[in-house]
Amino acid sequence: MKTQTDLKILLVEDSPNDAELIVQRLHGDGLAFTHQRVATAELLVRELTEFDPDILLCDNRMPNFDAMSVIEIVAEMRPHLPIIIVTGTLDDEAAAGLIKAGATDFIRKDRMARLPAAVTSALEGACDRNLRREQAVKLRENELILRLALGATGQGVWRLELGRSDDGLEWDAVCNALLGFDSGILTNYAVWAKAIDSTDRARVLAQVRIALDPANSLDDLVSEFRVTRADGTMGWLAAAGRAMFEPDPAGPAGRRPVRIVGTVRDVSQAKAIEQERQAHEAELQRARETAEQASQAKSRFLAGVSHELRTPLHGIIGYAELLIMEDDLNAVQSQRVETIVSAGQHLLGLINAVLDMSQIEADQLKLSPVEIELDDLVRDCFDMVRTQAAAKGLSLVLKSAAPRRLSADPTRLKQVLINLLGNAVKFTTAGTVEVRLRPTAEGDGTRFEIADTGPGIGAGHRDKLFRAFERLDSEAVSGIEGAGLGLALAARLVHLMGGSVGYDNNAGGGSLFWFELPRGPAASVAHASVTPARPRRPAPLRVLVADDEAMNRDIARGFLSHAGYEVVCVDGGLPAVEAAATEHFDVVLMDVRMPGVDGLEATRRIRALGAPHGKVRIVAVTAQAFAEQIEICREVGMDSHVAKPFTQSVLLGALLKGASTGAKAKEAVLS
């Protein structure tokens, strides 16, 4: 509302005296304003435009001019201008007629005291009405803008009014277009419901009812459904709406629904893309399942092949070692038998490499890092190749400038180093094989360098070095061929330990293989050496050997008897259970794959015997060497595991580890 100093009042009054009285009355109540007086229709029309009053005070009757005429003129020129009739003669019926025609209020001239309050009230009411009109205009403008925006994005607007004589559903032209209807079609709830595909109709209508339920706390409607367009084609629409309620003390939840309004849009393309994505995901899942089945089949194949290779190889290596232990061979025979053992060990190394590669590829090879004394570990590796190096007159040298300790898996680190040292000794005819330890360039790890004075490797062949089953031909290494698995396995193990591997020329001639490992977290226990314990003089242990193969029993008996053990052999798992239940044994060597009662079931039955017979130390002696197979042995109660083929020293080491020197064996964890 305008301030009083801006207020303008137009007086339609033929009596100057009455006009002056009105002005005085208003000034007397503190109203500040400017005013004009007119007494004819012509002057009224002019001042409505030129003076632009905020309120009009009008006499009822003037010569050739009255209040009704004034109301008609104002209604045409200034329809929202408040009009107060100020008159000396006006009955209630006439006053009601003027109010109905458009007057705001009326005041009798003999009761002028109410005039200032009537003027103030009329101005405030006019201000409120003007504000509401402005808001209504803005609302219509906003609705228009919203409809334009929704139309630009392909969204239609709809509303469902409740309590009307018709079904109350209205939608715009975009909704018509989405359903493929002509603009002139009758829009109602029945038409919309019929357009929804029968598969989705009950669900969508139920969602509308839920949104309109006063007892439901969720007033929103969100639904996707199929529709049949006017031309018979199918499509997908997505509707979103909001239910609106009015207070109703007598209704459920104290309110009643009055309408639901919302939008709808075409999501056919998005649905098609989603369906295509789901089909692709299903295809990928089938591919993953096929790959998993193939991987499992490969694992089963490798396990089977490994077992079938290890079993006869165990006979070859075992009997050859027993022949050497007989000590009644001449020099030529001894040399030939040692060659058999060497060839068998080489073949065993290839089998183990294939198994390790398959476990790495299947992400099944687990590391067990501990803190390692590096100098001791390298010297242990030297011991493994010292005989071959001495036969060629090669010197083994360690140069250590790195931190003395490193956290890593000692078994796998030794596997890498022995492979690289073995190659260096194999391909070097004279000179030196040197291991250099130094910090990495970044200082956060250790660099291992294995340098030799051999022929080196041609530059054109170095890209094959760390590929599985890639063999270097005679041109690459001056007439010596590689095996094709050792370097690939070494590289995989280094990468598994978080490191990197590579090849350089040795500055003094020859090859230089290197790998770098991160320092790793400090282990709680430092291991000074990873050298397996050498077999001690055995205690007088009594050993039960359970195996269904006579060859395997014979080899075990030969190794153990030669070392001074008392040995009892049985053919199968059931005889092993019976023997363990009736006799005392310090250790049971249990094969796993046996007909009838296998080694796993036999172990379960022995453990069920209770003390003392059920507490005997049980060692799995089997050609099953996969990690998951070893874990199964642990789960059924076996204490440790020895993979076939094995040497006498390995078997004796397994017996001594955890076994007591007395008559009873102590329990031990799986090694």
pLDDT at 486: 75
Looking at residue 10, what is its pLDDT?
94
Q: Considering the chain, what is the average pLDDT of its residues? A: 82
pLDDT tens profile 72-93: 999 999 988 999 999 887 777 8
- In the chain the domains, ranked by start, together with CATH numbers, are 4-132 (3.40.50.2300), 153-266 (3.30.450.20), 370-522 (3.30.565.10), 542-656 (3.40.50.2300)
What integer pLDDT is reported at residue 578 of this predicted model? 94
Q: At 105, list the tokens.
A: 């209020």
Distance, CA of 216 to CA of 209 (rounded, Å):
10
pLDDT digits (tens, 9 = 90+) for 599-622: 999 999 999 998 899 999 999 998
Parallel, antiparallel, or unpaired: how do β-strands 220-228 and 234-247 relate? antiparallel
**Helix H or strand E encompassing 43:** helix 41-50
359-376 pLDDT, tens digit each = 666 666 777 788 888 888
Give the confidence band of 511 by pLDDT, cuts at 50, 70, 90.
confident
| Measured distance CA(483)–CA(385) in Å, rounded | 17
CB-based burial label for 24 (10 Å; 0-12, 13-18, 19+): exposed
Is pLDDT above 90 for 580?
Answer: yes
Confidence of residue 534 (pLDDT cuts 50, 70, 90): very low
**Could you tell me which residue, 465 or 335, shows the higher pLDDT?**
335
> How far, in Å, CA of 444 to CA of 456, rounded?
30
Residue 544 has a pLDDT of 95
Segment 404-432 mean pLDDT: 87
Q: Where is mean pLDDT largest: 3-12, 107-116, 321-330, 403-412? A: 107-116
Whether the ω angle into residue 247 lies within 30 degrees of 0, i.e. cis, is no
Tokens 């002509």 belong to residue: 182
pLDDT at 149 > cutoff 70: no
With 0.85 as the threshold, say if the pTM is over it: no
Cα(145)–Cα(450) distance, integer angstroms: 77
* 368-to-293, 412, 629 alpha-carbon distances in Å: 29, 9, 18
Mean pLDDT of 242-269: 87
Question: For residues 396 and 417, is the Cβ–Cβ distance under 8 A?
Answer: no
Going by C-alpha positions, the residue among 375, 368, 383, 418 that lies closest to residue 528 is 375
